[in-house]
Amino acid sequence: QVQLVQSGAEVKKPGSSVKVSCKASGGTFNSYDFNWVRQAPGKGLEWMGGIIPIFGTTNYAQKFQGRVTITADESTSTAYMELSSLRSEDTAVYYCARLLRQLGGSFDIWGQGTLVSVSS
Amino acid sequence: DIQMTQSPSSLSASVGDRVTITCRASQSISSYLNWYQQTPGKAPKLLIYTASSLQSAVPPRFSGSGSGTDFTLTISSLQPEDFATYYCQQSSSAPWTFGQGTKVEIK
């Protein structure tokens, strides 16, 4: 059974960067499509981008192009999401999630979430 | 981008009630529509994929229907653990987009 475990909460200053990790256990890491979805306080879900480690291909939402970088380390079965030029509006819980093509491209497994707070 | 619109934004219901939530896409997405349940402080949980397929271990009181642009999620008999926020999401074309959510509250 695949599980996704994310790194802990972060507090950042405006203008800085944050890098959140998502470690997968169980399953075949390289074949999965790992995505990042964020949720601002009291708001809905927003897809940021994803990576397929076996191909090394990434796909980003236009809104975050140039500010987000998603990578994967096969040796540790860990995916990363780095967001730069942070502003207060980036305060949110960031989730990693597996997109499974066999289930119609749905996000079937989620990490527990990482709270990123941006404040001066 | 494909816009997803859910209605209502919130509803109040009692245990045992039948509840229906609708989701409309701004263009046809065939059956590439998924439903999630989220309780406070928790990650979303996949309930339904490809409009009507029940995810493993999800109770059969949850069902989904629709195709094209109009979809529904139905809870046949609301249970106490079903009070949560529900989101639809399209997986037809990137960027993957979600509805704004429907909060189901206790009447």
pLDDT for res A48: 98
Would you call A48 helix, strand, or coil by DSSP? strand
**pLDDT tens for chain A, residues 1 to 120:** 889 999 999 999 999 999 999 999 988 877 789 999 999 999 999 999 999 988 889 999 999 999 999 999 989 999 999 999 999 999 999 999 999 988 999 999 999 999 999 999
pLDDT for res A31: 76
Q: Supply the DSSP string of B32-92, one letter for each residue.
A: -EEEEEE-TTS--EEEEETTTEEPTT--TTEEEEEETTEEEEEESS--GGG-SEEEEEE-S
pLDDT for res A26: 84
pLDDT for res B93: 96
Q: Average pLDDT of B24-32? A: 98
Decide if A107 and B53 are in contact by the 8 Å CB cutoff. no
pLDDT for res A8: 98
Decide if B43 and A44 are in contact by the 8 Å CB cutoff. no
Task: Let me know: does A41 contact A95? Beta carbons within 8 Å.
Answer: no
pLDDT for res B101: 98
- Kindly state whether A59 is in contact with chain B, defined as any CB-CB distance less than 8 angstroms: yes
Does residue B75 surpass a pLDDT of 90?
yes
Q: What percent of chain B has pLDDT over 70?
A: 100
pLDDT for res B95: 96
pLDDT for res A28: 81
- Kindly state whether A16 is in contact with chain B, defined as any CB-CB distance less than 8 angstroms: no
Q: How far apart are CA A19 and CA A41, in angstroms?
A: 19
Burial class of residue A58 (count of CB atoms within 10 Å of its CB; 0-12, 13-18, 19+)? middle
Does residue B40 surpass a pLDDT of 80?
yes
Averaged pLDDT of chain B: 97
Query: What is the CB neighbour count within 10 angstroms for residue B8?
Result: 12
What is the bridge-based pairing of β-strands A46-52 and B62-67?
unpaired
Dihedral sign from CA coordinates of A24, B93, B97, B68: negative
- Kindly state whether A2 is in contact with chain B, defined as any CB-CB distance less than 8 angstroms: no
Decide if A104 and B94 are in contact by the 8 Å CB cutoff. no
